Structure 1
Amino acid sequence: MNDIRADLVVHKDALVRDASALLADVQALLQDVAAEANHESAQAREQLAVRLGALQKRLSVQRQAAKGQLSQWANSTDRYVREHPWQSVGSAAAVAAVAGAMAALAVTHR
Structure 2
Amino acid sequence: MVATTILLMFMGFYALYSSSKRAVLNQSKFDIWLQEKYSPLKATGLLLITIALGVAILHKGFASGIFYWFIILMTLGSLIVLVSPLRVFNYKAIATTLICIVFIENFLI
Instruction: Provide TM-score, normalisation by structure 2.
Output: 0.29
Which entry has the higher C-alpha Rg, 1 or 2?
1
- Give the number of the structure whose residues are more often helix, by fraction: 1
Q: Greater RCO between the two (CA within 8 Å, min separation 6)?
A: 2
